[in-house]
Structure 1
Amino acid sequence: MDYLVLLYYCYTPLENPEQFREEHHRLCLHLNLLGRIIVAPEGLNGTVSGRRADCAEYMRLVKADPRFAALEFKIEEAAAHTFQKLHVRVKAEIVHVGLPAIKPYERTGIHLSPEQFRDLKDQPDVVVLDVRSDYEHRLGRFKNAVTLDIENFREFPEKVAELAQYKDKKILTYCTGGIKCEKASAFLLDQGFDNVYQLHGGIIKYGLEAGGEDFEGQCYVFDGRVAVDVNRVNPSVISECHHCHTPSSRMVNCANPQCNAHLPLCETCAGELAGACSPTCQQHPAKRPYDGTGTYPRLSNHYRPEQGLVSYRAPGA
């Protein structure tokens, strides 16, 4: 395959995130990368796609910055760009949870390699904790994992009280690429949990290096692929079509923008309902035309950095 997808993050202090954002955006444009990148005073977080040579140069230049010496790239192959646009934005946190005082580069859970995680996860004194949102863990999760009823990661702190029953256990946290676990495990330590661990590199790295064993279903990803297979050992499908309840991992947004629910919908039901999640939404006067994908990306205005903080679409994308 001619393209790569890079998933990465690094918690590290950045003194001037606005200036860094400007320089980093220009770098991505120069290398024809597309994706979503967040810059914050606490570090860098991104997922980008591009041609192999461009991605290789990007990784070389990022790693050459001493602030990102510890950054690790999760690398996957792709047939084409998995994004339509490029966004590089400054935010208060590189993953929004509302805990800017929690600094993972000072203290966080013990990092476990994929192999260590696999060997520990089924021990009797261990609880495997999924810190992702509902729509993610419903599509796929580790066997016997504890999941939280949250629509967004920023709800995680208020759910920690529900985990008090596990304070005498080893808690193994996991997420897609590892970034949420850095904040989640650090917050658990702050709340008095003593034995907190995290899957280093997340589900993606676990799939690449440990075959994805016992990860049931598919892994939700935040690019055009939406869902990817990670389990090459004992794969399964655990999600169901929202309408007919047959096994399906095909994620869509409801074609009714007033609903816009993000859920599994099989091709047959999506066709019959014209991309809507229900007959009611199908009849809604604001329903968007359904093109068979179930995604509705915002239009680009061909942004260049000197024009302001909006999006840029590469020529021909």
Structure 2
Amino acid sequence: MKKYSILLYYHYTKIEDPELFREEHHLLCLKLNLLGRIIVAPEGLNGTVSGLVEDCEAYMAAVKADPRFEGIDFKVDYAKEHAFTKLHVRHKPEIVHAGLRNIDPTERTGVHLSPQEFKEMKDQEDVVVLDVRSDYEHSMGKFKNAVTLDIENFREFPEKIDELKEKYEGKKILTYCTGGIKCEKASAFLLEKGFENVYQLHGGIIKYGMEAGGEDFEGKCYVFDNRVAVEVNKVNPVVISKCHVCETPSARMVNCANPHCNLHVPICESCGTKMDGACSTTCQEHPDKRPYDGTGYYQKNTNGYNPYKGLNRRKTEQPKAV
């Protein structure tokens, strides 16, 4: 039985005192025994957390009770255990690092498409399906025939605008990402740069898998928690990622056993055993190589972790152990 929920969410809204909000939000998460990563910025809230189903229900109700987040859309999945080992609630300039602070998605952004609307439009002749995620994400999985970008992180997206205009100006552009947050700014930026027909998949790949069966999404969807990658396509699934060592099809993501490399790539079980968890012979022979247990996942050291770190107001009662 899956007793835990995993929440993925964001909401663009003005937060007048983001540091105070961050403090209060941190305390709320501690009270509800949630773990995960949350970003608070003057432009809104972005997070992915895990917790017991009833605690996550209470969290969602508390967030929606704030008029600023009345329209927030939570993507909810379920698991047998926490998807995180720590809680971090941070104040940053943007809720997704794009370097586009002048872009306000609450004023103008691409037309939001439901998963079913996206599914009906994506194969039309005058449509370009644009993946705005990083290369390590779309190498694991992407929509069939999607245009992908050679970028290491989302803040490089604006550098691709001239290339996109040269190839696709005049087309209908359907943007997509994991949960929808990157598309808010990507689609708004495309409109600012002269594209006229811009759309975005509301709720991203995750919602598309939940509500439209994930049809034509090839491979797995990379996620930013301990699951690493999740199944999306229940209709016509295929594996598109290849083993870093032997190049056979593999969706098994691991971290290189050499902590100084820590490369995050697909490595099949056979090569994982043969290379003892390393991505190369050099890493396999490194004196600091970590013991390989067959998973390729290495728990981060939580020694000294204090869930109250960063709070101005300390409570004497410590959070319940989970």
Normalised by the size of structure 1, how large is the TM-score?
0.95
Tell me the distance in 1 between the aligned counterparts of 2:262 and 2:305.
26
Secondary structure of the 1:53 match is helix
1:303 paired residue among 280, 303, 306: 306
2:190 paired residue among 185, 188, 191: 188
Secondary structure of the 1:305 match is coil
What's the CA shift string for 1:55-105, capped at 9, x where partnerless?
110000000001101110001111111111111111111111111111111
Residue 198 in 1 paired to residue 200 in 2? yes
Q: Which amino acid aligns with 2:251?
A: S
| Residue number in structure 2 paired with 1:52 | 53
The answer to whether the Cα contact below 8 Å between 1:9 and 1:46 also exists between their aligned partners in 2 is yes
The answer to whether the Cα contact below 8 Å between 1:49 and 1:82 also exists between their aligned partners in 2 is yes
- Shifted more, 66-75 versus 264-273: the winner is 264-273
- Which 5+ residue runs of structure 2 have no aligned equivalent? 313-317
Q: Which amino acid aligns with 2:65?
A: A
The answer to whether the Cα contact below 8 Å between 2:23 and 2:311 also exists between their aligned partners in 1 is no
2:249 paired residue among 236, 247, 250: 247
Q: What percent identity do the matched residue pairs reach?
A: 69
Shift of 1:307: 5.5
Tell me the distance in 1 between the aligned counterparts of 2:319 and 2:299.
15
What pairs with 1:133-212 in structure 2 (closer than 5 Å)? Answer: 133-164=134-165, 165-212=167-214
Residue 220 in 1 paired to residue 222 in 2? yes
Shift of 1:308: 5.2
What pairs with 1:270-281 in structure 2 (closer than 5 Å)? Answer: 270-281=272-283
Q: Which amino acid aligns with 2:283?
A: C
Tell me the distance in 2 between the aligned counterparts of 1:161 and 1:289.
46
| Residue number in structure 1 paired with 2:315 | none
Q: Which amino acid aligns with 1:160?
A: I
What pairs with 1:99-114 in structure 2 (closer than 5 Å)? Answer: 99-114=100-115
Decide whether aligned partners of structure 1 residues 268 and 27 sit closer, same or farther in structure 2, where only a CA change above 3 A counts. same
What's the CA shift string for 1:26-48, capped at 9, x where partnerless?
11111111111111111000011
Shift of 1:122: 0.2
Shift of 1:288: 2.7
User: How many pairs align?
Assistant: 314
Tell me the distance in 2 between the aligned counterparts of 1:221 and 1:257.
21
Shift of 1:258: 2.8
The answer to whether the Cα contact below 8 Å between 2:87 and 2:307 also exists between their aligned partners in 1 is no
Tell me the distance in 2 between the aligned counterparts of 1:275 and 1:32.
33
What's the CA shift string for 1:237-269, capped at 9, x where partnerless?
111111111211111121223322211011221
- Which 5+ residue runs of structure 1 have no aligned equivalent? none
Q: Please identify runs of 4+ aligned residues in structure 1 that moved more than 3 A.
A: 306-309, 313-317
What's the CA shift string for 1:2-58, capped at 9, x where partnerless?
111110000111111111111101111111111111111110000111111111100
Shift of 1:203: 0.3
